[in-house]
Amino acid sequence: MTHTETIRSISSWKAWLSLAVFLAIVIGGGSTIGILTAPGGWYAGLDKPPFNPPNWLFAPVWTLLYICIAIAGWRIWRFAPRGRAMQLWYGQLVANWIWSPVFFSLHLPWAALAVCAAMWAFILGFILTARQIDRPASWLMVPYLLWVSFAGVLNASVAWLN
């Protein structure tokens, strides 16, 4: 697909509809899991490192990240819907959705850290693979990789302290 064809196809209503579906699935799924596995008394009672962000920060950060994740996935899906990059994108999304139940519902911070490590690997793999297909999609995932790196350190610190 040439650049002109890409611009023309992105402006089509089908492209906008597919983007809306990606946004709805990613934001809707992440928000639903976040609501169903909201931190409760167990988490409040845990010892946390001094760099633990305030609880109010997580929802806006994740919302922005979910928008980037959805757009990145959508962009790659438009070029290579069955390719390796999309497989990695699906993998990171599944790992993302598994992390909260493992940590907040099952109270298994060490297992959640393993999920976080898998998520990190899927994200990095996506970034490296997607940059060959669509550089903007690759760059959209960099803030997510940085946040998951921080989240991994935070997860490991909470597991170690408790």
Domain boundaries, the chain: 3-161
Q: Confidence class of residue 3 from pLDDT cuts 50, 70 and 90?
A: low
Nearest to 21 by CA among 87, 77, 59, 60: 77
Give me the mean pLDDT over the 150-159 stretch: 98
Q: Is the dihedral of CA 70, 75, 79, 80 positive or negative?
A: negative
Question: Can you give the pTM of this predicted structure?
Answer: 0.90
How does pLDDT run across 40-75, given as a tens digit for each residue?
Answer: 999 999 999 999 999 999 999 999 999 999 999 999
